[in-house]
Amino acid sequence: MNFAAQLFYSRYLSERLERLFSPRPAIKDSEENDPFWEREELHLGPSQTATTYKSSSSSNGAMGRRATLIEPERLKDFGEEELLNGDVVVHKIKVVEAPEIKLMDPPKTRRVSEFRIVPRPPAQYLRFEDISAASFRIQSGIQKTPCTYSRLSKLYGMEIYLKKEHLHYTGSVKERGVLYLLTCLTQEQQTKGVIVATDCNFSMAVAHHAAVMKVPVFVIMPSGCSSPCLRIYRDYGAMVISYGSTSRDSQNHARHLASENGYLYLEEDESAEYLAGLGTVGMEIYEQVPKVDAVIVPAAGQYGLLAGTAAAIKHLNSQILVMGVEPEGFPLLLQSLKTDSPVPNVHSSPEQKLYEGLMERSLGVNTFQLAKKLVDKVLSVSEDHSLVAMLRFQEFERSTVDAEGAMGLAAILAGNLPELRGKKVVVVVSSANMAPELMRRCVDRALVLDDRVSKFSVQLGEWPGDMARLLDVLSREDVRLLDVCHRRHSDKSDLFKAKVECVVETRDKTQSTQLRKTLNERYPSICWLDR
């Protein structure tokens, strides 16, 4: 505000306040008729009459100022006390600028090549969570099999525990995978039913558990299947249909019936549900045997059992060794590991009667990858060692198992695992399904392989008592005579001598060695026949 404006404003304000707070004089008649803009109180400048203002020294350029009737303290109510002396108050206005805004440095630009691209890990085909879920789902339908200390431990110099999976209702470990597989089916699939083909442990497990779950189950069998096997499936509650002369014919017919009637055709494969159910064996082993050093798992026709068990064991303790065993006649996993890819078939073939249905098994891609990653060692055993292992189970464990179930023990008695001496080892006994007639033949052959049964031929003269003296020697050696054949007429024998063939059984190899020494000294013409 400039000086003239301040002076004008101060005078105007003083006159207004004087009129407001002073007694108002009576209005003259002449004033009533004057217009309000011509009245004296509206003239803010100096009065025209010289006597109105007293002369005074100029202040701030003004000649003088009219005296006010308002006490200076009253002006405080209006905030104008600084104008009483007529001084001009210059207000200093301080302009406060806005705070300076400091801009941040622009982000550094990076090339795409500088960014580290971290690839996502691939999804695991078989997780431990799946195995744990399978264990919870099947606990009401599958018994927890025992894992007991074996008397064979002292014989082979290690602590051997036998995981007796052959004690299931159908005599096979495959019940675990089958039951979890059936529980994972949809309600519609369970209502329509399932269908299987061929006579194997997998089919028996499906027939049993599907019937327990009230799921319709159909079994297609070749016409050459034995009557006892058909009766077993019917006793489980399955509808058995005979079709074709080979297992291939029955499988094709089963697929045809499944497509026409809406059944679900089941066959042993490497589905995640099936492997998760089999993997529950590893969880139970870890719970039942503390501080275990190694687990031996049969792999012939049961590669899913090896993969599932290894997945569970390695998750719980990666220091535990997992070893797979398969027959020498069908080393499918060994050949696959050498070529670093699943081999569909091998040129060699196992004994069909001993490893029934083994030729129909194959090694899937996922099962092979799991075995390659998790299994520490894979080895093969001969047929002879498997037969001797079956004999050991009968003598020491009072149990009957088949060749597949005895393969884990066969690897130990063959001497292929010297690194396990003094260790705590669990052997999985996977199955015990073998016909009685075949079992008898296997035991007889195992006795021969174990040097417990010997066969020899000797030439005796025609003197009376020669045969009696031979039998007396065998009696003193405390051996069991199984068979004897006395031949008087033989093309290759001496004219005046008879050929005698004997089959004897000894307690062990020590007694067999002593018998051979005694007979060799007494009868120089003795001939021990090959096994």
Model confidence pLDDT, tens digit, residues 123-138: 677 899 999 999 999 9
Q: What's the pTM value of the predicted model, to 2 decimals?
A: 0.73
Q: What mean pLDDT comes out for the span 222-248?
A: 88
Does 199 or 290 have the greater pLDDT score? 290
Rounded to 5 degrees, φ, ψ at 59 are -130, 120
pLDDT tops 70 at residue 246 = yes
Binned at pLDDT 50, 70 and 90, residue 520 comes out as very high
**Which pLDDT score, from 0 to 100, does residue 435 have?**
87
**Which pLDDT score, from 0 to 100, does residue 465 have?**
84
Binned at pLDDT 50, 70 and 90, residue 439 comes out as very high
| C-alpha angle 451-454-460 in degrees, rounded to nearest 5 | 155
pLDDT tops 50 at residue 57 = no
Task: Please give the C-alpha separations between residue 68 and each of 21, 65, 223, 387, in angstroms, as whole numbers.
Answer: 10, 9, 138, 137
**Which pLDDT score, from 0 to 100, does residue 63 have?**
47
Strand partners, 160: 425
Instruction: Please state which of the ranges 104-118, 263-277, 353-367 shows the lowest mean pLDDT.
Output: 104-118
Instruction: Please state which of the ranges 76-85, 143-152, 181-190, 464-473 shows the lowest mean pLDDT.
Output: 76-85
Task: Please give the C-alpha separations between residue 481 and each of 20, 376, 380, 455, 464, in angstroms, as whole numbers.
Answer: 154, 47, 35, 10, 21
Binned at pLDDT 50, 70 and 90, residue 461 comes out as confident
pLDDT tops 50 at residue 69 = no
**Which pLDDT score, from 0 to 100, does residue 122 have?**
58
**Which pLDDT score, from 0 to 100, does residue 165 have?**
96
Instruction: Please state which of the ranges 16-30, 162-176, 329-343, 485-499 shows the lowest mean pLDDT.
Output: 16-30
Instruction: Please state which of the ranges 18-22, 215-219, 324-328 shows the lowest mean pLDDT.
Output: 18-22
Torsion angle of the four alpha carbons 304, 305, 310, 312, in this order, in degrees rounded to the nearest 10: 100
**Which pLDDT score, from 0 to 100, does residue 60 have?**
44
Binned at pLDDT 50, 70 and 90, residue 58 comes out as very low
**Which pLDDT score, from 0 to 100, does residue 302 have?**
73
**Which pLDDT score, from 0 to 100, does residue 460 have?**
85
CA nearest 304: which of 315, 293, 312?
Answer: 312
CA 502 centroid distance within chain: 57
Q: What percent of the chain has pLDDT over 90?
A: 53
**Which pLDDT score, from 0 to 100, does residue 426 have?**
98
**Which pLDDT score, from 0 to 100, does residue 61 have?**
44
Does 441 or 52 have the greater pLDDT score? 441
CA distance 253 to 266: 13
pLDDT tops 60 at residue 93 = no
**Which pLDDT score, from 0 to 100, does residue 223 have?**
84
Instruction: Please state which of the ranges 333-342, 427-436, 458-467 shows the lowest mean pLDDT.
Output: 458-467
CA nearest 181: which of 142, 230, 128?
Answer: 142
**Which pLDDT score, from 0 to 100, does residue 354 have?**
73
Q: What mean pLDDT comes out for the span 175-204?
A: 93
Q: How many CA atoms lie within 13 A of 376 on its CB side?
A: 16
pLDDT tops 80 at residue 475 = yes
pLDDT tops 90 at residue 173 = yes
Does 346 or 315 have the greater pLDDT score? 315
Q: What mean pLDDT comes out for the span 405-431?
A: 95
**Which pLDDT score, from 0 to 100, does residue 530 have?**
75
Does 370 or 92 have the greater pLDDT score? 370
Is the Cα dihedral 434, 436, 441, 444 positive or negative? Answer: positive
